[in-house]
Amino acid sequence: RKEVEQDPGPFNVPEGATVAFNCTYSNSASQSFFWYRQDCRKEPKLLMSVYSSGNEDGRFTAQLNRASQYISLLIRDSKLSDSATYLCVVTGGSNYKLTFGKGTLLTVNP
Amino acid sequence: DAGVIQSPRHEVTEMGQEVTLRCKPISGHNSLFWYRQTMMRGLELLIYFNNNVPIDDSGMPEDRFSAKMPNASFSTLKIQPSEPRDSAVYFCASKSRGGPYEQYFGPGTRLTVT
């Protein structure tokens, strides 16, 4: 089983749509969880951390289910500028090591 | 403030040649990471430095790869000899002492080995 698995997509949605990404991780000792965003031919950038209680940042909502080892990202009212690859990221037992999923490509269409 | 700086941004070389990638982390950051990204394998950690000392090099694919960090503001990743399967985007990232886990990535070096 891969350490971090994501729905590969691609997701093609119209502007204004709500889209959800899912991710599972294999290491039950994982301590911290993140979503990174990577634009085409650019570097990854932190989108948001994911907390056990769930957290929201504007149109973005992240959820964590430790029992199921499952992470999700919900984007509401999607914009053209949301088009990117979304990377699910998990730390293992070592707090420095980020393990990245292969990413889910989102294209928001006008 | 300047972000992580990498050079060159693009490198095309022939198989067997030596390749050196360079990175300048964000000033004040004490952790530095080298990653490789390919379509097949995604983003993989190659090596991690803390306070200029290599802590984890378990991701370095083989002896052809080596990395150094002679001081807090400079690191190199060297491939010698290069092979076509080394073609990838190589990212350098840095992180501040303690604090949150956010790593700041450089723009990457796109390496093509023919």
At B79 the pLDDT is 97
| H or E segment to which residue A75 belongs | strand A70-75
Res A95 pLDDT > 80: no
Torsion of CA A10, A13, A15, A20, to 10 degrees: -80
Res A106 pLDDT > 80: yes
Give the pairing type, strands A55-57 and B53-56: unpaired
Q: Kindly report whether the peptide bond that precedes residue A110 is cis, defined as omega within 30 degrees of 0.
A: no
Of B95, B101, B106, which is closest to A43 when you measure between CB atoms? B106
At B100 the pLDDT is 61
Q: Measured between CB atoms, does B58 come within 8 Å of chain A?
A: no
Per-residue pLDDT tens listing for chain B (114 residues): 689 999 999 999 999 999 999 999 999 999 999 999 999 999 999 999 999 999 999 999 889 999 999 999 999 999 999 999 999 999 999 998 876 678 999 999 999 999
Res A36 pLDDT > 70: yes
Q: Measured between CB atoms, does B5 come within 8 Å of chain A?
A: no
Of B41, B45, B91, which is closest to A97 when you measure between CB atoms? B45
10 Å Cβ neighbour count for B75? Answer: 25
CA distance to B21, B60, B76, B77, B89, per residue, from B9 (Å): 9, 21, 14, 14, 9
Q: What is the average pLDDT across A36-61?
A: 93
- Of residues A53 and A71, more confidently modeled: A71
Q: Kindly report whether the peptide bond that precedes residue A10 is cis, defined as omega within 30 degrees of 0.
A: yes
